[in-house]
Chains A and B, each alone.
Chain A
Amino acid sequence: MVSIEEYGEFKTAWCPGCGNFPILKSLKQALAERGLAPHDIIISSGIGQAAKLPHYMRCNMFNGLHGRSLPVAQGIKMANPQMHVLVTSGDGCSYGEGGNHFLSALRRNMDLTVLVHDNQIYGLTKGQASPTSARGHVTKAQPEGNRSDGFNPVSTAVAMKASFVARAFSGEPEHLVSVIKEAMAHKGFSLVDILQPCVSFNKVNTYAWYKERAYILKDHDPEDWAAAMTLSEEFGERIPLGVIYRADKPVFGHGGRLAELAYAKNDLKAVLQSYI
């Protein structure tokens, strides 16, 4: 048994009431319930408020650059396929700065679990629109309202037939724990887009706003792609939570742990021979 305490308690730089707190707690809970100790996992994160998460728990981590958590995570997984590799970052980090990596990671389908703290705003840089902010969302940087359509990560991932796509809400921690556990159990790339109210800068998508709209899916077959596609478009009056899409796909990666790989001299000599 692994207890949640093993993951430690740390002072954070998050605002009181921030939706990141329940995500941190749910993640620890899910890991403990899956029997994973801090040394069994590696968390890769980018930059932003959400991305500081691995600083607030005991675990292996690579806290790198803004938008680059996915390439780092994939490099880690390729070098050590035995580790459980998780990614945790904000919506700006994952879908804006890291958008190209996001699309490529979906296609590559390594066995990773990606948790996106989606607060539809840039938190750390104090409240500019993010890729998931809706058209018309007013901020100091978008005084006339956001002039672009919001990015829908869930429908994009489903459209690309990503192997596991889910949505959760930090105001529904029990459900969140179960989704993270399911995502981790899935072999292949699993995306959990987590609605996370930013109490400081997002005055539109508040706890109350989400509470009014979010509902937990009951009778949806995640293997039905067409149904998943339709559901993934539902983001407005009602917002479905749960596993939206799941597919069995070839998983990228093979081989052993690279730290243990040493070439035999004779193999290298044969390589040189091939140039004669």
Chain B
Amino acid sequence: MSNKNINIVIGGAAGQGLVTIGQLLSKAITRAGHHLLVTQRYMSRVRGGHNTYAIRMGEEKPLGGTESIDILAALNAETLDKHLEAVSEGGLVVAGADLDTEGLNALRIPYEELASKPLFHNTAMLGVLGRTVNLEPAILEELLRQTFGKKGDEVVEANLEVLRKAYAWVADQNHDFSRTLASSDPKGRMMLNGNEAIGLGALAAGCNFVSFYPMTPSTGVAMTLIAKGAPLGLQYEQVEDEIAAMNMALGASYAGARALVTTSGGGFALMEEAVSLAGVSETPIVCVVVQRPGPATGLPTRTEQADLNLVVHAGHGEFPRAVFAPATPEDCFYLTHRAFDLAETYQTPIFVLSEQYLADSYRDVAPFDLDDLPEVARPLLEWEGGEYKRYALTDDGISPRLIPGFSETLVRADSHEHEENSYITEDKAVRVAQNSKRLRKEAGLFEEVIGPDRYGADEPDALMVCWGPTLGACLEAMDRYEGDKSLAVLHFKQVYPLREEQFMDFLTSAGSVIAVEGNATAQFAQLIARDTGFVIKDRILRFDGRAMTWEYVLKGLSDIL
């Protein structure tokens, strides 16, 4: 058990309120100045089943989830059955007095004594947990006021009363858990999950249009945009299917919106034809794909990194694109912002490839500096350069993009092969010229590729190569590794295109190279092999639907090294 952080796991059935407890506790932890990382596991059902909400709080920023539990908060007996084994030595169980916790280091909450109605049991649990990890009661009181304020003073007072009783009750208990964490960064940090951070990054880039069809775990991106953007003028529509979502967004983008679509694997598969339309019609679009395990409906609420191939190869025909893979909410914000700029500059689809683990993982995040963000490219509203040709042949492949309706100049977007002035053609020379023009944009996109970050030893004995949110587990595994080899981690937050000169030296100078990925076939390693010829043979792959953890990586390392 690390003394720098505490892993609290709240378990129960859907509908029992574990997310509410988890979120209030997380927010209080953030406000108290601790670092935080949340991993949510849930099932595809609204009631019942078995779900967990794991909060890793720390003096230092936790990098990823962990498997060993310091405090297990059980809302039902199943939680004890499933997770007792993972409770670390000296760890604590918190459960209602009705559950069997004989022989455990446990706080058995007398719900009846603390709360007048079952409705308030969750507040009792919250108070017990808050006191156990030494949160100032005032922080939780303030949160309860904010949360229940709309329901009236009576409800607020009742909750506050339960909270106070719970705090007092814990103080009288003999339990064997006494760890206090110093709060590291005092005030003003946001609590955000990956989906929210993508939504905010989009808003910061001026995104003002979203069309979507709900699909877990991507829906939160659209929900964030609607909740925060619609009051500012953002237009949105929950459409009939993903095909409509993508086509509608392209229509909006053509007419001057900064458009985003969001979906997951199956929905994205439906969007593919229109991804290709974005390519040929040269219409900017930011497409957020939040992965879950497939094939088809797969494990709808779990996590995986197995849609890389799908996204990198999406659409028929050839056209430029870029694919970002954020590791953290900060990445989600900045990379989504950047995606809008690239989409507009290069007039092509740009992808943000996230996954369920990151989508639902809350972190404490320093407020983003909006003043420091680069400007996002804009299309033209007027044209003064003589005859306007939407698909003018240029050296860099970028044709001036005019928005229709702001002047008398006509703007024509087309899905066929077309002349510079958009008229449909089958002329072979025009075809070659236009196709080459579109592909010339790749050179510009290539110049702008964000290279991988490297952590750890120079010329290491072993180099772990990862992408997206798998970074945290790799870094923590590297920190905790006690063997005699020197280790390093190479992390890609842009997974396509790949720019060899940014990383080949790292690959060739390492003793051995290990791909660490959340899929069964090492898709990213294969992409590297395809584009560079460098074959990564060793692999640590996880595809059981759960997020990569440092324990999993360490185990893999010990098998390989």
Contact = CB atoms under 8 A, between A and B. Distances in A.
A263 B196 contact: no
B414 A276 contact: no
A262 interface: yes
Contact of A261 (B31, B233, B410, B413): B233
Interface string A55-74: 10011111111001011111
A275 B204 CA distance: 15
Contacts of B243: 68, 71, 101
A125 interface: no
Contacts of B244: 68, 70-71, 100-101, 104
Contacts of A268: 203-204, 370
B424 A55 contact: yes
B41 interface: no
A80 B255 contact: yes
A200 to B, nearest CB: 20
A75 interface: yes
Nearest to A107: B240
Contact of B424 (A52, A62, A272): A52
B281 A75 contact: no
Given A65-B247, A75-B211, A75-B255, A275 B190 contact: yes
B467 to A, nearest CB: 26
B403 A259 contact: yes
Contact of B367 (A39, A44, A276): A276
B511 interface: no
A210 B273 CA distance: 37
Given A64-B415, A83-B404, A258-B209, A274 B247 contact: no
A37 B408 contact: yes
Nearest to A274: B228
A230 interface: no
Contact of A265 (B188, B192, B256, B371): B371
A175 to B, nearest CB: 29
Interface in B234-282: 235, 237, 239-241, 243-259, 273-274, 277, 281
B178 interface: no
Interface in B343-384: 367-368, 370-371, 379, 381
Contact of B248 (A74, A256, A267): A74
B409 interface: yes
A75 B250 CA distance: 7
Given A64-B277, A100-B241, A256-B233, A79 B370 contact: no
B403 A63 contact: no
13 contacts: A55-B414, A59-B410, A71-B244, A75-B211, A75-B249, A75-B259, A76-B252, A79-B235, A100-B240, A261-B233, A268-B370, A275-B190, A276-B189
Contact of A62 (B206, B249, B409, B413): B413
B368 to A, nearest CB: 6
B411 interface: yes
B247 A64 contact: yes
A42 interface: yes
B200 interface: yes
B382 to A, nearest CB: 11
A80 B412 contact: no
B406 interface: yes
Contact of B252 (A37, A38, A75): A75
The 10 closest A-B pairs by CB, nearest first: A259-B256, A75-B251, A72-B251, A79-B255, A75-B252, A71-B247, A75-B248, A275-B190, A258-B257, A79-B257
B189 A104 contact: no
B458 to A, nearest CB: 38
A208 interface: no
Pick from B188, B379, B405 the residue with the most CB of A within 10 Å. Answer: B405
B316 to A, nearest CB: 11
Contacts of A63: 412-416, 424
B195 interface: no
Interface in B213-241: 228, 232-233, 235, 237, 239-241
Contacts of B208: 258, 261
